[in-house]
Chains A and B, each alone.
Chain A
Amino acid sequence: MKYLTSGISGLMLVSCAAVAAEGAGPVRIGVIQPLTGSVAYNGQAYVRGAKLAVAQRNAQGGINGRQVQLQIEDGQCQPANSVNAAEKLIQRNKVPVLAGAFCSSATAAVMAVAEKYKIPLLSGVSSKADLTEKGMKYFFRSAETDRLMARTFSKILADDLKLKSVAYIGVNDDWGRGGVEDFEKDLNALGVKSVMKEYFDHGTTDFYTLLTKLRALKPDGVFVAAETQDGSILVKQLKEFGIETKVFGVGSWATADFIGLTGEASEGIYAAVPYVSNMKGERNAGFVDSYQKEYKQLPGKYDASGYNAMNILMQAIERAGSDEPEKIRDALYRTDYKAPNGRFQFTEKGEGYGFDTVLVQIQGGKTHVVTQARTEKP
Chain B
Amino acid sequence: MELLPQYIANGLVIGAFYALSALGLTLILGLMRVVNFAHGELYMVGGVMGWWATARLGLDFFSGLLLVAVVLGTFGWLIDRFLIERIRDQGEEPGILLTIGLSIFLANTALLLVGTAPLKIESPLAGGPLFIGPIVLTKARLFAVAVSIALMIITYLVIQKTRLGRAMRATFQDPMAAKLVGIRTANIYAGTFAMGTVIASMAGMLLGSIYSTQVSIGGLVSMKAFVVVILGGMGSFAGAIVGGLLLGLAEALWGGYVATGWVDIIGFILVILTLLFRPYGLFVKRAERA
Contacts and interface: CB of A to CB of B under 8 A. Distances in A.
A210 B255 contact: yes
Contact of A236 (B116, B127, B217): B127
Contacts of A233: 118, 211-212
Contacts, number: 87
A229 B120 CA distance: 11
Contact of B216 (A37, A213, A216, A240): A37
B111 A36 contact: yes
A260 B136 CA distance: 25
B180 interface: no
Given A36-B111, A242-B131, A203 B261 contact: no
B212 A212 contact: no
B87 interface: no
B111 A198 contact: no
Contacts of B260: 198-200, 209-210, 213
A206 B116 contact: no
Contacts of B108: 36
B136 A242 contact: yes
A257 B212 CA distance: 13
Given A209-B252, A216-B2, A261-B120, A198 B259 contact: yes
Contact of A205 (B10, B217, B251): B217
Contacts of B251: 209
B256 interface: yes
Contacts of A210: 255, 260
A279 B93 CA distance: 57
Given A209-B7, A232-B212, A257 B261 contact: no
Interface residues of B, number: 36
A201 B127 contact: no
A38 B117 CA distance: 10
A74 to B, nearest CB: 12
A208 B117 CA distance: 23
Given A172-B261, A242-B136, A40 B118 contact: no
B264 A212 contact: no
B3 interface: yes
A241 B211 contact: no
Interface in A178-224: 198-201, 203, 205-206, 208-210, 212-213, 215-216
A229 B118 CA distance: 6
Contact of B10 (A212, A216, A257): A212
A203 B115 CA distance: 16
B259 to A, nearest CB: 7
18 contacts: A38-B216, A40-B111, A198-B260, A205-B207, A209-B7, A209-B251, A209-B256, A209-B263, A210-B255, A216-B2, A216-B3, A232-B212, A236-B127, A240-B127, A240-B128, A241-B129, A242-B129, A242-B131
Interface of B: 2-3, 6-7, 10, 13-14, 108, 111, 115-118, 120, 127-129, 131, 136, 138, 207, 211-212, 214, 216-217, 220, 251-252, 255-256, 259-261, 263-264
Given A209-B251, A257-B117, A260-B120, 19 more contacts: A37-B216, A38-B216, A40-B116, A172-B261, A198-B260, A199-B259, A201-B264, A203-B217, A205-B211, A205-B217, A206-B211, A208-B6, A209-B260, A212-B10, A212-B256, A213-B260, A233-B211, A239-B129, A242-B129
